[in-house]
């Protein structure tokens, strides 16, 4: 084997030719010191010399120790064949002299090699042999090592026996007052919980381990645990904390010169920034990790860094760089003979080739990786590659081969209990059949996929349901296309309804089952949809944006009349980029806002103002032509009759009241408009409103808040660093709240009085909620605020142990009796647009029990907003419905300030009554 020392005296350096055992012991100790500093290359060289001396003196016991150290050194260098040979040499010698301690060490080393290559069952066999020998020889240290490693291996298999092994190791360490082994066991317990996604449960064991390492002044151990705590907070979506823990680990590793820790910290920081979508910063950190992998001669660590660089580059659209990084990682995995790493790298290279359209090269890489996953028995890896092959064959139009590959993925996923993988395979199988224009067969597979997803979501939390639905929404769209192609347009409406706000409807139904209005959790069928329109005497409009089998985007629209008649219309979106059109419209209207600095007043010349308004009129007319003109003949002639829009995707940002007809008039001038995430949510909101006794706005118990003392929030700055930022005050919001409070003859919370704790106390009894403050659209988006949470927050005054951010997640936990919530703040109607609708403040308030929400689609101007809101409450007090009152308030404000930016921001979501 290359790298192993010879057994001949004459190859020893002259100074060591007559060296004694004491010299060998010194070399061994120096090697251990170097290894502790991460310098394994020089450590191995010293251990080789020590071994040669022990061989010269026929010192078998110390030869075994030297071989074990060499095995560990080669292992750390990623030289697995050399490590295997060294551990086997140590094992053979230890067995020949009945040296139980070194047998245990060698067997654990061999197990570690198998574990590192993903052969967990083989690793367990070695660890169990080591444990048996350690118990037979009463080797407590060996037992603790074996138990800990058994815990790691079983944890890799997601086997709950792992926790039992860690706890056995902990008990043994506690009985023997071995603090270092206690810390190791606590770390194992934390790692077990972390691996199962139980991040909160992982924190306490990691903190226990950290406390012990701090008492022992073990900087290496502290760095390891800080790194693990960074991983836990990453899992919790608490990215600023994750970055801070990782930076602490980096600083500590740099202080003690721990090259291994420095390398790991840079790599982890790169991964964190990859997750945040901050790819330039991720590339910077990962590039800093590379020299340390070279210094450590750590090809495995280098391969990991290169893989993450490939991922970041792929997201950046730098396909050539991504391919080069993944190919370099592939070469390194081959060098260290890691079949799992090689198979994953082959798949990554294949994915890059697929993105560049080099499909044949992609297929070659996928097939090679597939063979390797099969060889090592990695069924999950095998299923994933079959799925990748199925998609590539689909893109090539080789539909029979695509289906054959997807059938393989489906069969494996079903066999190993991977329900998500099973559903994905069926979804792609159905998509292939759709492209093949086998619509009936496509319908069957897509319905199977949707059925599995529905079963999975029943056991998940709301956040998990939204995430799953958002990642796997395409089967609903493809099924609509398959049904429309078969002229089953009414059935397609049922699927369009089933494919939106499903998690929201389930959340509402779950919340209200203990109330008189127990809701059905099943999405409405055609009869229920027609009944809803008839009950509410409303025109219901549901939009859906789909990609047809030709790859062309189409807009589907269903219009349900108050009599229950359903009409379907469709049109291609060829050459139309909805996202760009909406962004262009918002820019032209001048609705951008800034919360973090003083208000910036833009002075327009008469010419520039005229140009801006002309451009805004043009884009609003384009949106009318796209969304309203094809169905205009189906809209009611009575302006008081409600028209309810169910948008999808980017259409949630459409200011429907301001859409401009060819005659130059606005949609709100002819129709009473409101929106809902789905027909089912509309029905639930209507039921809830019917159950409330809200006789008069003037008789309600109101909560009015305006311009609180603003909190400090964490936002990402231009330098890619999360920093604390003070929100600017809103003098206009204060004037608005004072005017509204006077009209309602109610008290008002302003400034320091409008604390989060005070608002929470009053929310639980308020029948009417009016909040005039900042709405934080970006809260909960880790790429903006570093926190992964339900998007949306209301800015309030901090104090009393509260941070001043009333988050959507906190609102979701409340039970609110209010009939109406008016969120008179910037962007309160926006949020993260998902397959389940807009996840934000409006969803949270409705899920908390408020049937009608008035929200804004942009940063609203102060004076016109105060006028509009006063008119809104006045019309409600006169007996109009909320939807009618909002329309009249918009019309009144339009007379004073015709620019749509001043009156069209607000929309009513939910019940019109």
Quote the tokens at residue 437.
């224009």
Element (H, E) at 360: helix 359-376
Q: How confident is the model at residue 828 (pLDDT cuts 50, 70, 90)?
A: very low
- Determine the Cα–Cα distance for residues 51 and 64; give it in Å rounded to an integer: 9
When the candidates are 3.90.79.10, 3.90.1150.180, 3.40.50.1360, 1.25.40.10, the CATH number that belongs to 378-498 is 1.25.40.10
What are the backbone dihedrals phi and psi of residue 45, each rounded to the nearest 5 degrees, phi first?
A: -60, -40
Bridge partners, 725 (sequence order) = 713
pLDDT band, residue 402 (cuts 50/70/90): very high
Identify the weakest region by mean pLDDT among 118-127, 371-380, 496-505, 604-613. Answer: 496-505
Q: Please state the rounded mean pLDDT for residues 707-732.
A: 78
Helix 419-435 vs helix 474-485: crossing angle, to nearest 10:
30
pLDDT number for residue 747: 94
Which string of b and e fits 114-127 if b means at least 16 CB within 10 Å?
bbbbbbbebbbbbb
| Residues 110, 112, 117, 119, CA torsion sign | positive
Q: How far is CA 22 from CA 25, 279, 614, 724, in A?
A: 5, 53, 91, 59
Per-residue pLDDT tens for 164-199? 999 999 999 999 999 999 999 999 999 888 877 788
CA atoms of 810 and 553, how far apart (whole Å): 38
By C-alpha distance, which of 296, 385, 295 is closest to 340? 385
- Lowest-confidence range among 38-52, 632-646, 657-671, 854-868? 854-868
Summarised one tens digit per residue, pLDDT across range 335-392 is 888 888 999 999 999 999 999 999 999 999 999 999 999 988 888 889 999 999 999 9
Higher pLDDT, 400 or 157: 400
Higher pLDDT, 821 or 587: 821
Enumerate residues 6+ apart whose C-beta is below 8 A from 534.
Answer: 562, 563, 564
Q: What are phi and psi of 76, to 5 degrees?
A: -65, -30
Say if residue 9's pLDDT is above 70.
no
* Closest residue by Cα to residue 222 from 231, 235, 209, 234: 209
**pLDDT confidence of 519, banded at 50, 70, 90?**
very low
Q: Where in the chain is the domain with CATH 1.25.40.10?
A: 378-498
The whole-number pLDDT of residue 278 equals 78
Q: How far is 76 from 530, CA to CA, in rounded Å?
A: 68
221 vs 837, residue with greater confidence: 221
Q: Measured between alpha carbons, how far is 507 from 675 in angstroms, rounded to an integer?
A: 19
How many CB atoms within 10 Å of residue 585?
Answer: 23
pLDDT exceeds 50 at position 716: yes
**Average pLDDT for 119-136:** 92
Q: Minimum mean pLDDT among 284-293, 562-571, 673-682: which range?
A: 673-682
Which distant-in-sequence residues (6+ apart) come within 8 Å of 26 by Cβ?
Answer: none
Give tens-digit pLDDT for 770-812.
998 887 766 655 555 556 556 678 889 998 788 888 988 888 8
Averaged pLDDT of the chain: 84
Specify whether the CB–CB gap between 483 and 495 falls below 8 A.
yes
- Average pLDDT over every residue of 841-850: 82
Question: What is the per-residue pLDDT for 693?
Answer: 64
Segment of 582-596, 780-794, 894-908 carrying the highest mean pLDDT: 894-908
In this prediction, residue 604 carries a pLDDT of 58
User: What is residue 823's three-state secondary structure?
Assistant: strand
State the Cα–Cα distance between residues 233 and 633, nearest whole angstrom: 54
Q: Which of 837, 874, 871, 868 is nearest to 680 (CA)?
A: 837
Quick one: pLDDT band at residue 695, thresholds 50, 70, 90?
low
Confidence band for 220, pLDDT divided at 50, 70 and 90: confident
pLDDT at 833: 41
Q: Please state, as a whole number, how many other Cβ atoms lie within 10 Å of the Cβ of residue 879.
A: 9
Q: What is the pLDDT of residue 30?
A: 93
Tell me, what's the pLDDT at 785? 59
CB 720 within 8 A of CB 278: yes
Q: Which residues of 802-839 are buried (b: 16+ CB within 10 A; e: fewer)?
A: bebbbbbbbbbebebebbbbbbbbbbbbbbbbbbbbbb
The confidence score (pLDDT) of residue 600 equals 38
The secondary structure of 278-332 as a DSSP string is -HHHHHHHHHHHHHHHHHTT-HHHHHHHHHHHHHHHHHTT-HHHHHHHHHHHHHH
Plot region of 849 (φ>0 → left; ψ -120 to 50 → alpha; else → beta): left
Return the pLDDT at 119.
Answer: 84
> In this prediction, what percent of the chain has a pLDDT beyond 90?
48
pLDDT at 4 over 80: no
Q: What is the arithmetic mean of pLDDT over 283-295?
A: 90
Q: How confident is the model at residue 7 (pLDDT cuts 50, 70, 90)?
A: very low
Nearest to 364 by CA among 381, 375, 380, 352: 352
Q: Where in the chain is the domain with CATH 3.40.50.1460?
A: 696-910
Interval 425-443 mean pLDDT: 95
Average pLDDT over residues 512-516: 46
Enter the tokens of residue 418. Answer: 């991977």
- pLDDT attached to residue 472: 56
The confidence score (pLDDT) of residue 575 equals: 86
String of DSSP letters for 589-639: HT----SSSPPPPPPPPHHHHHHHHHHHHHHHHHHHHHHTGGGGGGS-S-T
Q: Which is more confidently placed, 846 or 430? A: 430
* The token pair that represents 685 in the structure block: 């909101």
* Angle CA 373–451–428, to nearest 5: 45
Q: What is the pLDDT of residue 236?
A: 78
Does 696-910 carry CATH code 3.30.110.30? no
With pLDDT > 70 as the criterion, what percentage of the chain qualifies?
Answer: 86
């Amino acid at each position: 084997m290359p790298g192993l020392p010879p057994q001949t005296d004459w190859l020893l350096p002259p100074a060591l030719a007559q060296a004694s055992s004491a010299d060998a012991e010194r070399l061994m100790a120096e090697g251990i010191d170097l290894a502790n500093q991460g310098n394994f290359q020089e450590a191995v060289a010293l251990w080789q010399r020590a071994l040669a001396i022990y061989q010269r003196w026929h010192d078998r016991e110390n030869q075994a120790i030297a071989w074990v150290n060499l095995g560990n050194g080669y292992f750390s260098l990623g030289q697995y064949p050399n490590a295997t040979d060294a551990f086997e040499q140590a094992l053979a010698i230890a067995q020949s002299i009945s040296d139980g301690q070194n047998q245990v060490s060698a067997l654990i080393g061999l197990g570690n090699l198998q574990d590192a290559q993903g052969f967990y069952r083989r690793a367990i066999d070695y660890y169990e042999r080591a444990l048996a020998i350690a118990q037979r020889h009463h080797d407590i240290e060996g037992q603790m090592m074996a138990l800990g490693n058994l815990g790691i291996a079983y944890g890799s298999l997601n086997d709950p026996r792992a926790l039992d092994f860690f706890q056995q190791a902990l008990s043994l360490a506690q009985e023997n007052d071995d603090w270092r082994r206690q810390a190791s066991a606590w770390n194992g317990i934390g790692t077990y919980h972390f691996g199962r996604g139980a991040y909160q449960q992982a924190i306490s064991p990691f903190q226990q381990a950290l406390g012990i390492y701090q008492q022992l002044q073990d900087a290496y151990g502290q760095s390891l645990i800080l790194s693990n705590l960074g991983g836990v907070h990453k899992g919790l979506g608490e990215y600023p904390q994750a970055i801070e823990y990782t930076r602490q680990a980096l600083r500590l590793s740099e202080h003690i010169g721990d090259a291994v820790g420095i390398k790991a910290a840079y790599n982890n920081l790169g991964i964190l920034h990859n997750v945040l979508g901050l790819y330039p910063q991720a590339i910077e950190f990962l590039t800093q990790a590379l020299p340390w992998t070279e210094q450590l001669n750590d090809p495995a660590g280098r391969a990991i860094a290169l893989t993450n660089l490939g991922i970041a580059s792929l997201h950046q659209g730098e396909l050539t760089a991504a391919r080069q990084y993944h190919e370099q990682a592939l070469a390194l995995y081959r060098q260290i003979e890691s079949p799992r790493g090689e198979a994953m790298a082959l798949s990554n290279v294949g994915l890059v080739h697929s993105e560049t359209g080099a499909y044949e090269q992609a297929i070659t890489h996928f097939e090679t990786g597939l063979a390797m996953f099969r060889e090592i028995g990695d069924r999950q890896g095998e299923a994933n590659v079959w799925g990748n092959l199925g998609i590539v064959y689909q893109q090539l139009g080789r539909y029979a081969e695509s289906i054959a590959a997807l059938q393989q993925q489906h069969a494996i996923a079903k066999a190993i209990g991977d329900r998500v993988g099973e559903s994905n395979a069926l979804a792609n199988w159905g998509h292939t059949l759709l492209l093949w224009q086998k619509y009936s067969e496509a319908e069957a597979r897509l319905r199977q996929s949707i059925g599995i997803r529905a079963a999975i979501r029943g056991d998940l939390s709301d956040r998990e349901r939204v995430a799953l639905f958002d990642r796997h929404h395409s089967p609903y769209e493809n099924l609509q296309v398959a049904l429309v192609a078969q002229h089953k347009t009414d059935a397609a409406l049922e699927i369009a309804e089933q494919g939106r706000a499903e998690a929201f409807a389930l959340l509402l139904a779950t919340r209200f089952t203990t109330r008189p209005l127990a809701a059905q959790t099943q999405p409405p069928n055609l009869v229920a949809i027609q009944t809803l329109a008839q009950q509410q005497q409303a025109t219901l409009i549901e939009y859906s944006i789909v990609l047809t089998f030709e790859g062309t985007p189409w807009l589907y629209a269903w219009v349900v009349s108050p009599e229950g008649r359903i009409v379907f219309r469709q049109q291609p979106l060829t050459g139309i980029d909805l996202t760009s059109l909406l962004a262009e419209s918002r820019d032209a209207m001048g609705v951008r806002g800034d919360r973090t600095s003083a208000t910036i007043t833009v002075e327009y010349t008469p010419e520039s103002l005229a140009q801006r308004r002309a451009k805004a009129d043009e884009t609003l007319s384009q949106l009318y032509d796209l969304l309203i003109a094809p169905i205009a003949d189906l809209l009611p002639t009575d302006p008081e009759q409600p028209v309810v829009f169910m948008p999808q995707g980017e259409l949630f940002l459409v200011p429907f009241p301001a859409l401009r007809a060819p005659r130059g008039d606005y949609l709100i001038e002819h129709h009473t408009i409101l929106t809902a995430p789905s027909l089912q949510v509309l029905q639930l909101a209507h039921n809830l409103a019917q159950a409330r006794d809200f006789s008069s706005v003037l008789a309600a118990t109101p909560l009015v808040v305006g311009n609180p003392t603003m909190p400090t929030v964490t936002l990402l700055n231009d330098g890619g660093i999360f920093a604390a930022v003070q929100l600017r005050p809103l003098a206009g919001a204060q004037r608005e709240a004072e005017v509204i409070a006077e009209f309602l003859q109610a008290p008002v919370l302003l400034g320091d009085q409008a604390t989060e704790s005070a608002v929470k106390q009053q929310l639980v009894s308020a029948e009417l909620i009016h909040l005039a403050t900042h709405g934080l659209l970006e809260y909960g988006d880790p790429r903006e605020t570093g926190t992964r949470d339900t998007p949306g927050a209301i800015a309030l005054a901090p104090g009393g142990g509260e941070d001043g951010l009333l988050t959507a997640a906190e609102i979701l936990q409340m039970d609110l009796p209010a009939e109406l919530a008016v969120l008179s703040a910037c962007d309160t109607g926006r949020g993260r647009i998902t397959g389940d609708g807009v996840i934000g403040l409006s969803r949270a308030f409705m899920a908390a029990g408020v049937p009608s929400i008035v929200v804004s689609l942009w940063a609203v101007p102060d004076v016109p907003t105060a006028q509009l809101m006063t008119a809104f409450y006045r019309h409600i007090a006169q007996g109009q419905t909320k939807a009618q009152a909002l329309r009249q308030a918009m019309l009144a404000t339009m007379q004073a300030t015709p620019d749509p930016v001043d009156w069209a921001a607000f929309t009513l979501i939910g019940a019109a009554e």
